[in-house]
């Protein structure tokens, strides 16, 4: 069977081996034989040797590029017949022009839509065969042209009459009576918006003696649109005056529609159906160019859902997807009604919503009078996102952080505006704000952070980290009952860096695993050293990060630390926060139980700031609650905070947990806590965190205070 139709040979010339592999795979699947050449010269000689039916030619190649190769093989004997399909960079009209000058039959833009390639090659071969047949027989030509949906025309300049093949009438949906021989009559059936394209091309052909290639739309009598590709050129008489023009018209509607479908896939996010980040950037670039002329203000909003990961981790990815789709649909609804939200005098407020990826969405607001006009929309979005979501029966409450960059003040191009909106979002998150307008200081802050990060990386040698110790004091006896180890980084350049500045960086970079393990070991050996010196040191609590607790080897790292003591009295406790446990409750409980069994006390730090988890509190193997210093700080002036402190103390009592108030700075606070029957306190009132050398003196002082 297959011997009836000889397999057609495609020569693929590209220096990029990946492209060749992909082209081969695609074409062979389409039933073609494929040969490859990896540069222009090899391409020309392969052409001579193999006589392929069609050549796929890359433009950018070392030594002899595609233009050169194309020109060279056109000069070979028989080289003028085979179609040459050039692969050019996207939208580069210059190289497309050059490709045609070098004799290319057609071009295809990179990145190549692979599913289209086989169709393009087939179509070119078909069209090419039609052209070859033309030379042989008029009858066969007409047929071939019908198959290729290719028509031809000839315009006699002297008589100003156009002769057209049948296929043109078929494409136009008109009879020869309906489409007169006057050249102008053809222009009348062209879509009005596209007429200048043809006029310009004809002008160039006649006066600059250039052949032309154009795509335009034809409107059929029933209103249907056909997209056609026209090639034309002028032929001159002996006196070098235009004698006639000839051209072909091909119906490429199906091809264009297929391309359009592929484009859709490339421009839209499949999960939410929203435009994707590429579309957004495109749209933003256009808006920026337009805004430069009209002085309108643009706002770029970058929305990031807070703690989205938690949904994925606890409810599964399907719930996460559902949530993203629901957020997308809520945002779409708000923005559809945007005129009402951000109306300006001309009423031209407009918006463009896209999914940036992950849990990030971007919104472009245009037609604003002033930057602050975006605030109304932002509030509306935040309000909508904070309405509870129902994910297959799970009611969940979300929040989002929105960063806003404004054109022209915050950037003059799409990249910068997006980057700055991102910086603002990041800032909003860090400051626990709902939204934040960009300001140039944010990048400075980010740079500072980067500098710190690189210094930290160099500080990897653990000797730059130091533990300070802050006593916990019994409120009734005044005795020091515990120590909290607080880390400092002794940066050779700037001196002691506070924990809040570098712990988050250690967490982000994962270095906290190593440094945190060191801190536990350091605390255990310090405890042992004090014992060896004849002191009776209190237990030492080390703060543990989320990043450490999450790891599978966390229990092992605690074991390794207490092993240093070489006896059961290792003195090690840990402090963790409520939200850390909630991240993965069951796994956390398992690990904490193992650690508790090793004789390690576990306090819940910053208690009161996490989301309420009373249900789990009873299941946790914990020993103490630490009331967050924010409540303690204001308790004497803020009745609400006083109530919280008192509730936590009662709660601890009920659960038989020890309760410690942190951040006690005044005598008044201490008295209140004593009245509320809090067990212990910690804070500057008694002592700031101090170096190990200063601890013995503090222990003695605590003892004396109790005695006196």
From the list 146-154, 183-191, 570-578, 651-659, the region that binds Ca ion by CB under 5 A is 570-578
Q: Give CA–CA dist 100/70, Å, rounded.
A: 10
**Interaction of residue 680 with Ca ion, rule CB under 5 A:** no
Largest CA-CA distance found in the chain, in angstroms, rounded:
124
From the list 543, 557, 641, 687, which residue makes contact with Ca ion (rule: CB under 5 A)?
A: 543
From the list 3-11, 121-129, 373-381, 602-610, the region that binds Ca ion by CB under 5 A is 602-610
Note whether 302 and 427 are within 8 A (CB).
no
**Residue 702 contacts which entry, ligand C2E, Ca ion, none (Cβ below 5-8 A, type-dependent):** none
Determine if the peptide bond prior to 59 is cis (ω within 30°).
no
User: C-beta of 266: minimal distance to Ca ion in Å?
Assistant: 49
Number of residues that bind Ca ion (CB under 5 A): 4
Q: Which spans of this chain sit near ligand C2E (rule: CB under 6 A)?
A: 470, 486-487, 498-500, 503, 516, 519, 542-545, 575, 605-606, 629, 662-665, 682-684, 689
Type and span of the H or E element at 634: helix 629-634
Q: How far is CA 505 from CA 143, 424, 446, 498, 500, in A?
A: 72, 19, 12, 12, 9
Best CA proximity match to 420, nearest among 407, 433, 401, 430:
407
**Interaction of residue 88 with Ca ion, rule CB under 5 A:** no
Q: Pull the structure tokens for residue 470.
A: 């802050």
User: C-beta of 478: minimal distance to ligand C2E in Å?
Assistant: 17
Q: Give CA–CA dist 231/107, Å, rounded.
A: 14
Residue 648, classed as helix, strand or coil, is helix
From the list 64-72, 88-96, 492-500, 572-580, the region that binds Ca ion by CB under 5 A is 572-580
From the list 172-180, 197-205, 235-243, 571-579, the region that binds Ca ion by CB under 5 A is 571-579
User: C-beta of 320: minimal distance to ligand C2E in Å?
Assistant: 28
Note whether 243 and 237 are within 8 A (CB).
yes
Residue with smaller CB distance to ligand C2E, 73 or 660? 660
Note whether 381 and 328 are within 8 A (CB).
no
**Residue 665 contacts which entry, ligand C2E, Ca ion, none (Cβ below 5-8 A, type-dependent):** ligand C2E
Note whether 702 and 479 are within 8 A (CB).
yes
Q: At what angle do helices 138-147 and 114-136 cross, to 10 degrees?
A: 170
Q: Pull the structure tokens for residue 306.
A: 């807070």
**Residue 679 contacts which entry, Ca ion, ligand C2E, none (Cβ below 5-8 A, type-dependent):** none
**Residue 165 contacts which entry, ligand C2E, Ca ion, none (Cβ below 5-8 A, type-dependent):** none
CA 407 to chain centre: 21
**Residue 58 contacts which entry, ligand C2E, Ca ion, none (Cβ below 5-8 A, type-dependent):** none
Q: Return the bridge partners of 88, or none.
A: 109
Residue with smaller CB distance to ligand C2E, 19 or 503? 503
**Interaction of residue 15 with Ca ion, rule CB under 5 A:** no
CB neighbours of residue 466 within 10 Å:
14
Name residues whose C-beta falls within 8 Å of residue 430's C-beta, 6 or more positions apart in sequence.
none
From the list 184-192, 566-574, 597-605, 672-680, the region that binds Ca ion by CB under 5 A is 597-605
Name residues whose C-beta falls within 8 Å of residue 492's C-beta, 6 or more positions apart in sequence.
464
Name residues whose C-beta falls within 8 Å of residue 589's C-beta, 6 or more positions apart in sequence.
581, 616, 619, 620, 621
User: C-beta of 399: minimal distance to Ca ion in Å?
Assistant: 23
**Residue 284 contacts which entry, ligand C2E, Ca ion, none (Cβ below 5-8 A, type-dependent):** none
Note whether 659 and 680 are within 8 A (CB).
yes
Query: Nearest-5° angle of CA 243, CA 246, CA 248?
Result: 175
Residues, the chain: 708
Q: Return the bridge partners of 298, or none.
A: 407
Residue with smaller CB distance to ligand C2E, 408 or 504? 504
Residue with smaller CB distance to ligand C2E, 14 or 606? 606
User: C-beta of 560: minimal distance to ligand C2E in Å?
Assistant: 16
Residue with smaller CB distance to ligand C2E, 411 or 663? 663
User: C-beta of 430: minimal distance to ligand C2E in Å?
Assistant: 15
Residue with smaller CB distance to ligand C2E, 14 or 575? 575
**Residue 470 contacts which entry, Ca ion, ligand C2E, none (Cβ below 5-8 A, type-dependent):** ligand C2E
**Residue 239 contacts which entry, ligand C2E, Ca ion, none (Cβ below 5-8 A, type-dependent):** none
User: C-beta of 510: minimal distance to ligand C2E in Å?
Assistant: 13
Pairing of strands 539-543, 106-110: unpaired
**Residue 338 contacts which entry, Ca ion, ligand C2E, none (Cβ below 5-8 A, type-dependent):** none
User: C-beta of 694: minimal distance to ligand C2E in Å?
Assistant: 14
Name residues whose C-beta falls within 8 Å of residue 63's C-beta, 6 or more positions apart in sequence.
39, 40, 41
**Interaction of residue 606 with Ca ion, rule CB under 5 A:** yes
From the list 106-114, 287-295, 549-557, 574-582, the region that binds Ca ion by CB under 5 A is 574-582
CB neighbours of residue 294 within 10 Å:
10
From the list 230, 251, 296, 605, which residue makes contact with Ca ion (rule: CB under 5 A)?
A: 605
**Residue 683 contacts which entry, ligand C2E, Ca ion, none (Cβ below 5-8 A, type-dependent):** ligand C2E
Residue with smaller CB distance to ligand C2E, 373 or 575? 575
User: Residues interacting with Ca ion, by CB under 5 A?
Assistant: 543, 575, 605-606
């Amino acid at each position: 069977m297959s011997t009836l139709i000889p397999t057609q040979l495609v020569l693929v010339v590209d220096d990029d081996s990946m492209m060749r592999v992909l082209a081969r795979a695609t074409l062979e699947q389409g039933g073609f034989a494929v040969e490859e050449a990896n540069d222009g010269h090899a391409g020309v000689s392969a052409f001579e040797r193999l006589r392929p039916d069609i050549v796929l030619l890359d433009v950018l190649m070392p030594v002899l590029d595609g233009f050169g190769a194309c020109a060279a093989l056109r000069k070979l004997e028989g080289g003028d017949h085979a179609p040459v399909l050039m692969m050019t960079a996207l939208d580069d009209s210059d190289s497309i022009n050059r490709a045609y000058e070098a004799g290319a039959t057609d071009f295809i833009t990179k990145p190549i839509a692979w599913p289209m390639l086989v169709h393009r090659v087939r179509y070119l071969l078909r069209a090419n065969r039609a052209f070859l047949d033309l030379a042989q027989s008029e009858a066969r030509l007409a047929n071939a042209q019908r198959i290729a949906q290719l028509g031809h025309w000839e315009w006699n300049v002297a008589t100003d009459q156009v002769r057209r093949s049948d296929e043109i009438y078929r494409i136009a949906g008109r009879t020869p009576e309906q489409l007169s021989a006057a050249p102008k009559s053809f222009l009348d059936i062209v879509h009005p918006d596209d007429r200048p394209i043809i006029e310009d091309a004809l002008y160039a052909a006649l006066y600059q003696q250039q052949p032309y290639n154009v795509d335009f739309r034809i409107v059929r009598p029933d209103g249907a649109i056909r997209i056609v590709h026209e090639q034309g050129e002028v032929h001159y008489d002996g006196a070098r005056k235009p004698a006639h023009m000839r051209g072909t018209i091909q119906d490429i509607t199906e091809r264009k529609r297929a391309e359009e479908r592929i484009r859709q896939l490339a421009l839209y996010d499949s999960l939410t159906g929203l435009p994707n980040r590429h579309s957004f950037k495109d749209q933003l670039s256009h808006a920026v160019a337009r805004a430069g002329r009209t002085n309108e203000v643009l706002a770029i909003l970058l929305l990031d859902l807070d703690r989205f990961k938690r949904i994925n981790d606890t409810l599964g990815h399907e719930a996460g997807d559902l949530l993203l789709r629901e957020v997308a649909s809520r945002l779409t609804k708000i923005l559809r009604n945007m005129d009402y939200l951000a109306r300006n005098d001309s009423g031209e407020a407009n918006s463009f919503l896209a999914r940036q990826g992950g849990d990030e969405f971007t919104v472009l607001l245009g037609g604003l009078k002033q930057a602050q006009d975006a605030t109304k929309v932002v509030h509306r979005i935040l309000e909508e996102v904070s309405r509870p979501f129902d994910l297959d029966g799970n009611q969940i409450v979300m929040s989002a952080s929105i960063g806003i960059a404004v054109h022209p003040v915050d950037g003059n191009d799409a990249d910068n505006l997006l980057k700055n909106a991102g910086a603002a979002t990041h800032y909003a998150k860090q400051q626990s704000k709902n939204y934040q307008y960009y300001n140039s200081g944010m990048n400075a802050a980010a740079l500072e952070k980067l500098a710190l990060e690189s210094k930290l990386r160099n500080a990897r040698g653990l000797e730059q980290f130091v533990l300070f110790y802050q006593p916990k004091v019994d409120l009734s006896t005044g005795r020091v009952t515990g120590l909290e180890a607080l880390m400092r980084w002794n940066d050779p350049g700037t001196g002691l860096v506070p924990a809040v500045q570098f712990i988050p960086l250690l967490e982000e970079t994962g270095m906290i695993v190593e440094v945190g393990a060191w801190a536990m070991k350091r605390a255990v050996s310090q405890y042992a050293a004090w014992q060896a010196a004849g002191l009776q040191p209190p237990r030492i609590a080390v703060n543990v990060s989320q990043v450490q607790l999450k790891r599978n080897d966390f229990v092992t790292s605690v074991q390794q630390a207490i092993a240093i003591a070489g006896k059961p009295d290792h003195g090690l406790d840990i402090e963790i926060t409520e939200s850390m446990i909630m991240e993965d409750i069951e796994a956390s409980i398992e690990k904490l139980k193992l650690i508790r069994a090793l004789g390690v006390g576990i306090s819940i730090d910053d208690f009161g700031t996490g989301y309420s988890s009373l249900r789990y509190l009873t299941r946790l193997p914990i020993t103490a609650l630490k009331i967050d210093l924010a409540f303690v700080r204001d308790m004497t002036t803020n009745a609400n905070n006083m109530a919280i402190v008192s509730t936590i103390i009662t709660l601890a009592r009920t659960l038989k947990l020890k309760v410690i108030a942190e951040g006690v700075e005044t005598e008044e606070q201490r008295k209140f806590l004593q009245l509320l029957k809090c067990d212990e306190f910690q804070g500057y009132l008694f002592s700031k965190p101090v170096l190990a050398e200063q601890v013995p003196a503090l222990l003695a002082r605590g003892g004396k205070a109790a005695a006196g």
